[in-house]
Structure 1
Amino acid sequence: MCRMFAGQDPDRYALETRRMRLNGQSTSIRLEKSFWRIIDEIAASEGITTPAFVSKLHSEVLMLHGEPQNFTSLLRCTCLVYLENCPTLLAAE
């Protein structure tokens, strides 16, 4: 069973840092490439750029819950929620 997980391409979990603006402030966000791929897909499905999606998400979280303690964790969980609600995507992986 673990071979499926351990045998994956290391590039999938390599970290990638992207610089973008969140509500007008320049910042860097560091996530695994697999998460960036999903975030890029979410943004494209919304018809906006990835920085615009991430900034919009940050703004909405601020309004609902205040400043998130760990925004990168929120982004990872956003990917999970997206995958959980798109079962055809999980089957294609």
Structure 2
Amino acid sequence: MCEVFITANPESYESRTRSVRLHGVVTSIRLENLHWEVLAEIGARDGLSVVQLVEKLYDELVQARGAVGNFASFLRVSALRYMALQARQRIPTDLAVPIASLNADAVLQDLPASWAQRAAH
């Protein structure tokens, strides 16, 4: 069983720090390389760079929740959710399909309660 996990390329779990500007403030975010790769894939689907995606996620999180908390952890969970939703066939694996084109209500329908706290629209 463990071979599935322990054969991961060590570079994938090495951390990398990126500087991003969020509302004029430069901040550093440290994530494992695999998380950065998944975030790059998510952004590319909608024509966004990783930095543009991070800025967009930050802005939408602030708008929906009013507070950010641990933003690096939020980004890790976002990458994990993306992969898990693909595994559950809620997000197509076809990278030509933009995330913005998906119906969020359909993607999030009937997920385990611990997976989603629906933001008020």
TM range (shorter): 0.7 to 0.9
Q: CA shift at 1:7, angstroms?
A: 2.4
- Regions of 4+ moved over 4 Å: none
Residues in 2 aligned to 1:80 and 1:8: alpha-carbon distance in whole angstroms: 16
C-alpha root-mean-square deviation of aligned residues, in Å?
Answer: 1.3
TM-score, normalization: structure 2? 0.68
- CA distances 1:45-89 after superposition (whole Å, capped 9, x unpaired): 111111111011101100111222110111011112211222365
SS in 2 for 1:8: coil
Which protein is richer in helix relative to its size?
1
Paired residue type of 1:7: T
Alignment of 1:63-78 (within 5 A): 63-78=63-78
Which residue in the other structure is 1:29 paired with? 29
Query: 5+ residue gaps in structure 1?
Result: none
Residues in 1 aligned to 2:72 and 2:10: alpha-carbon distance in whole angstroms: 20
What number of residue pairs does the alignment pair up? 89
Tell me which moved more, 30-39 or 16-25.
Answer: 16-25
Residues in 2 aligned to 1:4 and 1:86: alpha-carbon distance in whole angstroms: 19
Question: Equivalent pairs: percent with the same residue?
Answer: 37
**Which one has a bigger Cα radius of gyration?**
2
Tell me which moved more, 76-85 or 29-38.
Answer: 76-85
Which residue in the other structure is 1:58 paired with? 58
